[in-house]
Amino acid sequence: MSEMPTKSDLDYIFKPKSIAVIGATAKEYTIGRAILHNMIINEFRGKIFPVNPNADVIQCLKCYPNVESIPDPIDLAVIMVKKELVAETLEQCGRKNIKGAVVITSGFREIGGKGIEEEERLIEIVDRYGMRMVGPNCFGIINTDPQISINATFSKTRPRQGKVAFISQSGALGEAILDYAYQLKLGFSIFVSIGNKANVSGADMLEYLENDSRTELILLYLENFKNPRRFAEIARRVAHKKPIIAIKAGRTTAGAKAISSHTGVLATPDVGVDAMFRQCGVIRVDTVDELFDYTLAFVSQPLPKSNRVAIITNAGGPGIMATDAAVGAGLEVAPLTAESTAYLRANLPDMAAVGNPIDVIASGGPNAYGAALNAVFRDPNIDSIICIFVPPIVVDHRAVINAIAETVDRFNNCKTFLACFMNMPEIIAGHEELANRHIPIYTFPEAAARALAGLVKCAQYRNRSDGAIRTFEVDRKAAAEVVKTAAAEGRKAIMGGNAIAILRAYGINVAPTATAKTLAELVKISPQIGYPQAVKLDDPEVIHKTDVGGVVLDIGSLAEAKKAFGRLEAAFTRNGSFAGVVIQKMIRGGIETIIGMNCDPSFGPLLMFGLGGISVEVMKDVAFMMHPLTDRDAAEMIRQIKGYPLLSGFRGAAPVDHAILEETLLRLSQLVGDFPEFESLDINPFIAGAQAENSLAIDARIILK
């Protein structure tokens, strides 16, 4: 790959002044014809030069036999020639000093084998000439900026102008999205089908859109990440300025690599995606429907100040459904103030319900809706409103909708407002009143609640600090020595005394532990460690020590310790040599946790926290975060697991010391950052105690790459 080019390079693609359409044809039902046609009917503001050796003129435009024969300078080449010709075409573009390319042609990396080599060739050419390229295997690009107005796609839908940017890794989905958005009257700023991402990646696009003044919301459809760590870095920054909503397909794709640690077993490929999105403030949705439900609200409404929502309805059932959906999505259907309740009691029909949800009942007309909205817009307990209207026959729709529109106007977007019309919105007289005011209208309350929850999530991310990465003073050299020795001896696993030495070097609390090679050493050390103690074989060749009788627990005296040593020495001496034992104080009380790391092939180190025992093994109740952890990440991980109540003072027990757990995670983060050769690491168990001094690592295992 070439060096990272500056952002503005992408202007050649998205803000070109002249375009060569290479492979344009006059035949109907060809991509070349469709793209040329789209550029013309969308009135691209610059010059278009079709290139095709077999035509003189296409759609009234003079056609050139090749790009180099065009007399004018060209910013962007849109290429749809057959795949055997793409490389040569790019060479010509390079020679002509064209800096932007969109390659529609497919048949490269996505078909594997030879296609991968051919794509590498394209990359080489593009890098050599310092070009930027979208694709290959893509659906094209759109910029609706009226100064540009480029639609270099073969979409049948003419995009509306708007403030939403869409980045799609799937061309087919892109077309569906354009179409769906059109029906919803939703406009785009920029649309890009990034295809195989050979040169321009999702992260590049995020970076470009960060500074695109017309883009206020970024939607993503991704199937994989080229460089997730770079993506994360950029997304984290951009998400603080512009909301990012993403569909990541491929949740259930199973990983194929052999698994050799607890953390590894739990680190499914999707865990990294979830962790990254959460850490970066990217809002993840599962379906296209959900994506658009969110988008309607994001493009029009202010972010709510809290999760407290008021629901207004004229029908009981839909009110209940909205409440269910709101609570299920983490919103609070908050009690109104006494003032609001009194005001509602005075201004709504007798049979109305004046709690939250507010039910103005079927006969509630414009006045009732006006009063209900007045109350909740003023109520300090409320920061967002879902207003349901099921048009009954006896009420004038238009009057109700006008009342809603006027009240919402009067309060001037000071709270987040979503409407739900439980009939096809289009058939409700007056619905344009709301649509023109950019109020999102949903057909069912669940969709409104879901979208509102998305806004709340985004607001929470904006308000939170990313936290800081802490750096501790550690003895990196000591740890490196242990790793070096293991590597030199060809050992893949670092266990027992060695693993504990590494933890100690990084300042992680470890249960009193020492090693003894000889009985004499044991006699000296055992009383210093104290009783009860465990004596464990410390032989790196023996992996499952418990299974072979290599661990003796509950040793209460030096005499017992000596006996244990004798037994282990007798059993595990090979070729006259005995590896020695680890002597460790046994810890009573506290809660077993597991703290680990697994190196994901694309996400790099993922750090894990969970409760020990069945919580991890059966319930899979663990939290993952991407390396490096900030202090906020560490604090969140601990609170994120379902079993967290056990740590926070369950049934009157003292809560465990949170600070030491967080610090341990942060020290581990520093450790795995320093040693990229670690494939995985388990501290299992780490005993979480009520005080830092009782919070101790008992055992650890490191697997090297």
Binder among 258, 346, 424, 488 for its own copies (CB under 8 A): 424
The residues in 243-302 that bind its own copies, with binding defined as CB under 8 A, are 247, 249-253, 286-289
546 makes contact with its own copies (CB under 8 A):
no
Total number of residues shown for the chain: 705
Map residues 450-489 to x or -, x wherever contact with its own copies holds by CB under 8 A: ----------------------------------------
Binder among 65, 317, 330, 556 for its own copies (CB under 8 A): 317
Nearer CB in complex with its own copies: 250/549: 250
Map residues 598-617 to x or -, x wherever contact with its own copies holds by CB under 8 A: -------------x--xx-x
Interface with its own copies (CB under 8 A), residue total 73
CA 534 to chain CA centroid, Å, is 44
Instruction: With contacts defined by CB under 8 A, name the span among 91-99, 119-127, 322-330, 689-697 that binds its own copies.
Output: 322-330
592 makes contact with its own copies (CB under 8 A):
no
Distance CA 161, CA 189 (A): 6
Binder among 25, 170, 301, 669 for its own copies (CB under 8 A): 170
Nearer CB in complex with its own copies: 111/692: 111
Task: Say how many CA atoms lie within 13 Å of 448 toward its Cβ.
Answer: 30
Instruction: Classify burial at 270, counting beta carbons within 10 Å of its beta carbon; exposed 0-12, middle 13-18, buried 19 or more.
Output: middle
Binder among 110, 124, 409, 693 for its own copies (CB under 8 A): 110
117 makes contact with its own copies (CB under 8 A):
no
Q: What single string gives the DSSP state of each residue in 256-304?
A: -S---SHHHHH--HHHHHHHHHHHHTPEEESSHHHHHHHHHHHTTSPPP
Distance CA 500, CA 505 (A): 9
Distance CA 565, CA 131 (A): 69
Q: Which amino acid is at 611?
A: L
CA 262 to chain CA centroid, Å, is 23
Smallest distance from its own copies to CB 51, Å: 19
Smallest distance from its own copies to CB 479, Å: 32
Strand-pairing partners, residue 697, are 510, 686
- Return contacts of 117-123, CB within 8 angstroms, 24+ apart: 118/83, 118/86, 118/87, 119/196, 119/198, 121/87, 122/86, 122/87, 122/90, 122/198, 123/1, 123/198, 123/199
The residues in 617-646 that bind its own copies, with binding defined as CB under 8 A, are 617-619, 621, 642-643, 645-646
Instruction: With contacts defined by CB under 8 A, name the span among 28-36, 90-98, 203-211, 476-484 that binds its own copies.
Output: 28-36
551 makes contact with its own copies (CB under 8 A):
no
Cβ 368 vs Cβ 389: under 8 Å: no
Nearer CB in complex with its own copies: 313/669: 313
Strand-pairing partners, residue 385, are 310, 417
Instruction: With contacts defined by CB under 8 A, name the span among 11-19, 179-187, 259-267, 533-541 that binds its own copies.
Output: 179-187
412 makes contact with its own copies (CB under 8 A):
no
Closest CA to 584 of 536, 643, 513, 510: 513
Closest CA to 108 of 138, 66, 152, 153: 138
Smallest distance from its own copies to CB 137, Å: 9
The residues in 331-360 that bind its own copies, with binding defined as CB under 8 A, are 351
Map residues 432-451 to x or -, x wherever contact with its own copies holds by CB under 8 A: -----------xx-xx----
The residues in 370-409 that bind its own copies, with binding defined as CB under 8 A, are 390, 392-394, 396
41 makes contact with its own copies (CB under 8 A):
no
